[in-house]
Structure 1
């Protein structure tokens, strides 16, 4: 019996011409760093002529810029599939793999480029750097015999002396006070540095505190009490100070929840995290912090925090931060009515609050499952679920949100994790709210920042938006250049 083969419809000369025009328009948007419009026009080019590898590779690069690493990987793979000799496709795929922390896969693509272009110095450099990372990871695994060994146990505060010339804030009897916090913030505004002894003490104390916390923290809010939820800060210390200027310093009568991604990208991440940890120690029952996807070793190595800590302090402190982050709570429930997590919901419909409470969080985020999804997932406008644009977690629709809320008797969810032009977005018929608190993200996005205030009596979200404020001339990701050079 004969079988029919499905042939692709012929692409007209007009379509080819129009596709090239769309690509040119997309390139112009890309140059202006308007990556969303660039993606739209590359998509139009692909719709008119889906057989051109460069369209996919270019859109892959734009997706990388918007942190849609899953889409970037898919497009790069498609460009290679269309043209197995298209070197830039392999570059883009390697960059996508790097972004997802898949260094071995990235190395294979860089290796291919060096073989077909043996005289390409840039390819050799990227292959060499990526190879170093792969070997370093393998070496660390090989020597990690004692999994129970804690960096915290190796730190001797008594051996650290306070030099006479140190003029910064000092802990009082080893404790954080309000005056210490005020002095610390002033020190940081002037680009000063907290003494390493006090920095280590804060980290050791905060680790002990978080170890006693539950994975899902319940937060009661009185009827007439105000509560503030902030989204991603991403190392933008001066914008963090602006939030406190507008909304008041944290206190027992002005509680806050910071919903993950305190660090990375912005080059004042050390200042942000010690400020937040300091307030957590000062007001443990009125200041809360959720883990984000950037509170992880791979993200910190890629996007700057690891390099910043090593530059301002030590490699040992960078490792201690990883230990501390492993103990951060994954979610908070406000008045038993609103669930707050960094990323979003799940690939299963039967996840309960009790299951979240039982998650073993003291580890690096896994590639799948509820812990991963709490940190990485994103909402989508259409019903159902889809593979994540980031390559990790999932995308979930309005029906998924409603099913989860009904099952767990909740009003709505608050999450962060995504840049929004107005600093926030209300989606899924008001049941899924995104808040993002880093304005003009990476000094390029032009977005506003926002925070949410609500009262216990009605739990209705009120939004405050704001523009970015000036900061010293240190560019975002200044400490991540050695790794990010592999993604250009």
Structure 2
């Protein structure tokens, strides 16, 4: 469900060179193989060619097409379709806003990404995915305190989210809170995260 070890660039202040780090990213609509990329491209073509059912194109049609475009990294196209989905009264409005926010984040619009995650939370303050996704946008902007706070919110809602512990540990390490990082890695290990176990051995033992 989640793509592991995704390289994310972040800034550590205006005068410090940006570096790469590894975070686990949310969410459920990530492509994991070339075959799936090809499949997503085929689905986009099939949806575009299906002119016989224009009247049946509800928000789910546009949301699914947006997901297909997201999976092949066509973020601008995905945003257009998420906009269309939002204009058709989606029942899962928090999900649509959150996914549009992810597309904006991946296209470099971090402020827009955060705004969309905020909108998702306006509709559902307990929508953990929006906190998780907002944290990654804040991380990319160098707002490490804000990213940590959002991962903490995820864990209040779902204490068994090992990825939130893993990512929060990573950010704590970046801000030189190694004790806090080790504590979070241990919690991730307790939840079955093998990668956190490796980092725990490398940094804390």
Scaled by the length of structure 2, the TM-score of the pair is: 0.55
RMSD of aligned alpha carbons:
2.3
Q: Is 2:171 the partner of 1:130? A: yes
- Corresponding position of 1:73: 114
Question: Is residue 177 of structure 2 the alignment partner of residue 109 of structure 1?
Answer: no
Give the SS at the match of 1:101.
coil
Establish whether residue 19 from structure 1 lines up as the match of residue 59 from structure 2. Answer: yes
Task: Summarize the Cα distance change of 1:50–1:70 in structure 2 as closer, same or farther, 3 Å threshold.
Answer: farther
- Out of 126, 130, 135, which is 1:85 matched to? 126
Rounded to whole Å, the distance in 1 between the matches of 2:152 and 2:118 is 16
1:48 counterpart SS class: coil
Query: Equivalent residue of 2:58, what SS?
Result: helix
Show the 5 A alignment for 1:411-450: none
1:16 deviates by 11
Alpha-carbon distance, 1:40 to partner: 0.5
Unaligned runs of 5+ in 1: 1-14, 137-481, 483-488
Separation (CA, whole Å) in 2 of partners of 1:56 and 1:128: 27
Aligned partner of 1:118 among 159, 162, 165: 159
Query: 1:447: which partner in 2?
Result: none
Shift of 1:115: 2.0
| Corresponding residue for residue 102 of structure 2 | 61
Residue in structure 1 matched with residue 73 of structure 2 by the alignment: 33
Q: Which runs of 4+ in 1 moved over 6 A?
A: none
Cα distance in structure 1, aligned partners of 2:165 and 2:122: 23
Which runs of structure 2 are paired with 1:136-155 in the superposition (5 Å)?
none
Q: Is residue 147 of structure 2 the alignment partner of residue 100 of structure 1?
A: no
Aligned equivalents of 2:57, 2:163: Cα separation in 1: 33
Q: Could you report, residue by residue, the CA deviation over 1:303-331 in whole angstroms, capped at 9, with x for unpaired residues?
A: xxxxxxxxxxxxxxxxxxxxxxxxxxxxx
Give distance in 1, aligned partners of 2:160 and 2:144: 23
Cα deviation for residue 134 of structure 1 reads 3.4
- Give the whole-Å Cα distance in 1 for the aligned partners of 2:60 and 2:172: 37
Structure whose residues are more often helix by fraction: 2
Secondary structure of residue in 1 paired with 2:125: coil
CA shift digits 1:255-313 (9 cap, x unpaired):
xxxxxxxxxxxxxxxxxxxxxxxxxxxxxxxxxxxxxxxxxxxxxxxxxxxxxxxxxxx
Contact 1:16-1:48 at 8 Å conserved across structures: no
Structure 1 partner of 2:82 = 42
Task: Provide the rounded CA distance (Å) in 1 between the counterparts of 2:87 and 2:169.
Answer: 37
Give, in whole Å, the separation in 1 of the partners of 2:141 and 2:81: 25
Q: CA deviation at 1:135?
A: 4.0
Cα contact 1:16–1:49 (8 A) shared by 2 = no
For the 8 Å contact 1:73–1:97, the answer to whether it is kept is yes
How many residues align? The count is 123
The 2-side partners of 1:123 and 1:94 are apart by 10
Aligned partners of 1:37, 1:59: CA distance in 2, in Å? Answer: 11
The answer to whether the 8 Å contact 1:26/1:37 transfers is yes
Per the normalisation by structure 1, the TM-score is 0.24
Query: Where does residue 463 of structure 1 map in the other structure?
Result: none
Shift of 1:60: 0.7
Residue 17 (structure 1) shift: 6.8
- 1:3-402 equivalences in 2 (<5 Å): 18-49=58-89, 52-135=93-176
Q: Quick check: which has more Rg, 1 or 2?
A: 1
User: Over residues 78-103 of structure 1, what are the superposed CA-to-partner deviations in whole Å (9 max), with x where a residue is unaligned?
Assistant: 11111112111011110111111111
1:50, distance to aligned residue in structure 2 (A) = 6.2
